[in-house]
Structure 1
Amino acid sequence: MAAISTLGISPAADFATEDSPRSALPALLTTAVNMSPDLPNHILIVGGGVFGLSTALALSRRHKGSITLLEAAPAIPNPHGSSVDSSRILRADYANPAYARLAQQALTQWRSTPWGHDGRYNRNGLVLVASSSSSGDHTYVRKSYENIKCLSPDAVELLPTASDVRRVVPGYGVAAHVSGGYVNWDSAWSDAESAIRHAKHLLDETGRVTFLSGQAERLIIDHSNNNQNQVTGVELSDGNRISADLVVLATGAWTGKLVDLRGRAEATGHPLAYLPLTDEEQRQLNDMPTVLNLSTGMFIIPPRNNELKIGRHGYGYRNPVRINHPTASSAPVEVSLPLHGTSVPLEGQLAARAALREMLPALADRPFSKTRVCWYTDTPKGDFIISYHPEIKSLFIATGGSGHGYKFLPVLGDKIVDAMQGILDSDLARLWAWTDNPVTTPAGGLGVVWTEDGSRSGARGMLLVDELEKSTNTSPSNCPSNCPSNSTNDNSGDAKVISKL
């Protein structure tokens, strides 16, 4: 198999290591690692998703002061949250060993504690494949295999050929353009919305966290403190203010509205489509493993409640808008922000159809029950941003999930608080540090971020509004033969959204 066997992988392959030496830690982090400062009394967490809830849980155990969590939606889970869905993949299959180790710790919690109860942990396995035409995808598969083989040697099975893949996933089409891969039977999937509710329930039981509902409009910054910018709270869209000694921004794809992340993080939308199944089809597919094709970015997760989910982990769609600079009195800036209330553009629906033809061809022409765009906060290498802001005092950033943060929910909060206290493991501190080298344009300005961690594929540069307009303008007469014209999705609402932009 080009993706695995020709690259010399053996079951005894050494655990992959990072090239960066410990001395590469930024000076700011090197100083922080040698300190364990007490946390300030009143901490305000903005955002009630994976990063915000996990931080609140850790603080409820480790912080004696007051904790407030502000969520934009009236209740948690927020229906527009990136981790509020029927399913999310739980995997330790990473090319980067630091993420593989941390994910393995999280999987232990999913398996052995109430985190995994009530459908929140379903051990179906993960099949990771690549085509024979893309060496970059093979590299990610190879490194992931090496790492997971050391972490879970008895759970990993090499799939050297396409026929081996079809043996593990019987429905996989005979025309599948894959050269092989591997299956990790320890991987699983989770009822994501249920897990968010569980996290909120755990916080309610502590009685330690004050929950508030409101849309954070801007940071309140005091410029008079010896010429040092210092955050003292947030102002809401209704004009009310919340004061705090430390503000933690865990606002996901909306973070770029509150602090300048240009060149460091980008909000990107990714297509998800859902297919209705009969009771018999649910039974037939219930035990299938999740399949992720790194050459196309397409994945299919085992069905839940008679609904099959197809998604794409690619470069995504941007939604650039002009806003006032979040923290400075300067000219407006362009950032990508989520656009909710839209279905997936025709381009994304066709990609889902193509994935079904390859993976489950018998279902390829069935109308979708719904589609949605899931918003990531992408960073250049897919690394989280978990760090104090270097230029704004009392501001801590916890974002940059890059489409793979959910699985860490049971363990991420303690790592975030470790970073707040300056005691985070050096390998994670290095990965999650605020970068001094943002993406730039040829002219030297701050550039657009596309995640290049080896796990993404497909087209770069797509704009959501443009793709939605193409969908609206595509009529049955000029629709391609494989156009999902019988889909139950209606893009007329998208046209109304576009007209308001």
Structure 2
Amino acid sequence: MFTPPKPGSKIIIVGGGCFGLSTAYALALKKKYEVVVYDRQPIPAPDAASSDINKCVRYDYGDQLLYMRLTMEAMSHWHQWNKERAAENDTPVFHPSGVLIMGYQGKYGPYEEQSMQAIREAGYGHAIEQLLTPEAIVEQYPQFEQTVKNGYNIAYLNKEGGWCNSSESVKHLHGKCVKEGVRFVVGQEQGCFQRLWVDDSNSTTVKGIITKDGNQHAADMVVMASGAWTASLVDVQDQLLATGHVVMHFRPDESTRQTMTDQPVWCADIARTGYYGFPVNSNGILKIAHHFNKGYVHPRATDGVSIPRTQVDHSKDTIPIDGLEHARTALAEILPMTSKMDITYSRVCWYSDSIDGGFLISPHPSYDNLVIASGDSGHGMKMMPVIGFKIRDVIEGVDSDYTRAWAWRATPKNEPNSKDTHATLGDEQGGRFATKEELRAQS
């Protein structure tokens, strides 16, 4: 039976990314716990999903009302963080550019219809501006003229959405944690989680963690907020699977850059295509990403568990050649101007996918004093300012809609969260990495 920590307890959080930092901050605000965060890399960790130039911030969630409400709650915090940054003469972390959500061939899909309905019913209908004709889209966003001609000719704009500079957001929250007394232990040896430290007489009782340097670190509770690495560090009973997804950077020429700086985040019939992109940032970078259902896996030789393969350990990795070919074909229709652009940087971004796409934030059913805070499933960053307060509720045993939704699930029979249904990274049949020459424009 799960027992919440008592006042004065020491809580170790493994992972200094989105979930880990937000949890550390929420716990520290209570001024009754000792909170220590361990990470094998300096924060922001360069291979974490949260370390990026931008992530979408939106509350368009189809019929997933729980996540819509959570992101609506986060919006005021994003604006508050901007005020905090301004007071320190620093750049904003949240950019309310709007999010343009495009349908296809004159029709919205179920995701778009459900999102608009849910947003209106929540009282936020003022944020929705429908663009029901090709002319309406092009008049407002002429840079999408070819996109519209190719069938993405109906859309709506969520005027309150936008994007965050995710790496800077992580830095900002790290600073807030430090101010509240959170202690950080980072480094390839002293900060690197090796395994759980369990009681010699009862292997289900967690006493703390053991780091790569062999040292034992006692804790009254351990929170595994280790993102895509979680399933490879602790037995999560097929609840989670590390999957990789394609991210690409382009550097448009000056004339194109001018047209793409002042634009919204865009999603191109995303439930069908999985493609979305961002305005050109202050460094002249246009980022486009592909979030597709299965993603790539990278099975560990010893047990087949998928583990992230990142550029921290494989600096020459790019993106799989089949992912590149898919992207070039899709973007020739979605954003044809990119066909003439080299891909100047690419990476595989790693998610911790849950069995149903929802977060997994729950006491571990097989261990005492262990909470799993993972399963971002590619959509956790937008909630970073508030997700930690919900994770804190799980840690403290508070019952809520969130804690019930994120509890340990039964793995569906005959439909395991298995690598068998995913493309394997490194396969010569398509999973090999693209060369620098292949990343260049082919036309």
Fold shared per TM-score above 0.5: yes
CA offsets 1:77-99 (integer angstroms, 9 cap, x no match): 10001010110101111121111
Q: Please give the TM-score of this superposition, normalised by the length of structure 2.
A: 0.87
Deviation (angstroms), 1:131: 3.3
2:61 aligned with 1:88, yes or no?
no
Structure 1 letter corresponding to 2:57: L
CA distance in 1, matches of 2:396, 2:262: 43
Q: Residue in 2 aligned with 1:313?
A: 291
CA distance in 2, matches of 1:318, 1:424: 34
CA distance in 2, matches of 1:279, 1:318: 37
CA distance in 2, matches of 1:272, 1:105: 28
Residue 352 (structure 2) aligned to one of 377, 380, 383: 377
Residue 264 (structure 1) aligned to one of 239, 259, 272: 239
The verdict on how the C-alpha distance between 1:280 and 1:209 changes in structure 2, with shifts beyond 3 A counting, is same
Decide whether the 8 Å contact of 1:159 with 1:181 is kept in 2.
yes
Decide whether the 8 Å contact of 1:245 with 1:394 is kept in 2.
yes
CA distance in 1, matches of 2:116, 2:297: 32
Q: Residue in 2 aligned with 1:218?
A: 195
Q: Residue in 2 aligned with 1:6?
A: none
Deviation (angstroms), 1:180: 2.6
2:377 aligned with 1:409, yes or no?
no
CA distance in 1, matches of 2:333, 2:399: 43
Matches of residues 233-248 of structure 1 in structure 2 within 5 Å? 233-248=208-223
Decide whether the 8 Å contact of 1:39 with 1:421 is kept in 2.
no
Deviation (angstroms), 1:39: 5.3
Deviation (angstroms), 1:59: 1.0
Residue 339 (structure 1) aligned to one of 305, 309, 317: 309
Structure 2 letter corresponding to 1:313: H
Report SS of the residue matched to 1:56: helix
Unaligned runs of 5+ in 2: 86-90, 312-316
Deviation (angstroms), 1:269: 0.3
The verdict on how the C-alpha distance between 1:85 and 1:220 changes in structure 2, with shifts beyond 3 A counting, is same
Q: Residue in 2 aligned with 1:479?
A: none
Q: Residue in 2 aligned with 1:119?
A: 92
Q: Residue in 1 aligned with 2:102?
A: 129
CA offsets 1:219-274 (integer angstroms, 9 cap, x no match): 1122524xx61111112223222221100000000001221224311100000000
Structure 2 letter corresponding to 1:206: E
Structure 1 letter corresponding to 2:299: P
CA distance in 2, matches of 1:188, 1:281: 21
Decide whether the 8 Å contact of 2:186 with 2:192 is kept in 1.
no
Q: Residue in 1 aligned with 2:11?
A: 43
Q: Residue in 2 aligned with 1:104?
A: 72
Deviation (angstroms), 1:393: 0.2
Matches of residues 24-173 of structure 1 in structure 2 within 5 Å? 38=6, 41-73=9-41, 75-95=42-62, 96-114=64-82, 117=85, 118-131=91-104, 138-149=109-120, 150-172=122-144, 173=146
Deviation (angstroms), 1:161: 4.4
CA offsets 1:368-397 (integer angstroms, 9 cap, x no match): 111011000011221111111112000011
The verdict on how the C-alpha distance between 1:438 and 1:163 changes in structure 2, with shifts beyond 3 A counting, is farther
The verdict on how the C-alpha distance between 1:387 and 1:475 changes in structure 2, with shifts beyond 3 A counting, is closer
Deviates more, 1:339-348 or 1:191-200: 339-348
Q: Residue in 2 aligned with 1:389?
A: 364
Residue 275 (structure 1) aligned to one of 250, 258, 277: 250
CA distance in 1, matches of 2:434, 2:101: 36
Residue 434 (structure 1) aligned to one of 408, 432, 435: 408
CA offsets 1:105-156 (integer angstroms, 9 cap, x no match): 10111123447842311111111223359x9x82222211112223421120
Aligned residues: 421
Q: Residue in 2 aligned with 1:454?
A: none
Report SS of the residue matched to 1:282: helix
Report SS of the residue matched to 2:112: helix
Deviation (angstroms), 1:162: 4.7
Report SS of the residue matched to 1:363: helix
CA distance in 2, matches of 1:448, 1:90: 29
Decide whether the 8 Å contact of 1:271 with 1:344 is kept in 2.
yes
Report SS of the residue matched to 2:27: helix
CA distance in 2, matches of 1:474, 1:421: 49
RMSD: 2.8
The verdict on how the C-alpha distance between 1:147 and 1:394 changes in structure 2, with shifts beyond 3 A counting, is same
Residue 175 (structure 2) aligned to one of 176, 201, 213: 201
CA offsets 1:329-369 (integer angstroms, 9 cap, x no match): xxxx3211101122111222233323432343223221111
Decide whether the 8 Å contact of 2:319 with 2:433 is kept in 1.
no
Unaligned runs of 5+ in 1: 1-27, 324-332, 451-459, 477-482, 488-501
The verdict on how the C-alpha distance between 1:237 and 1:440 changes in structure 2, with shifts beyond 3 A counting, is farther
Decide whether the 8 Å contact of 1:40 with 1:246 is kept in 2.
no
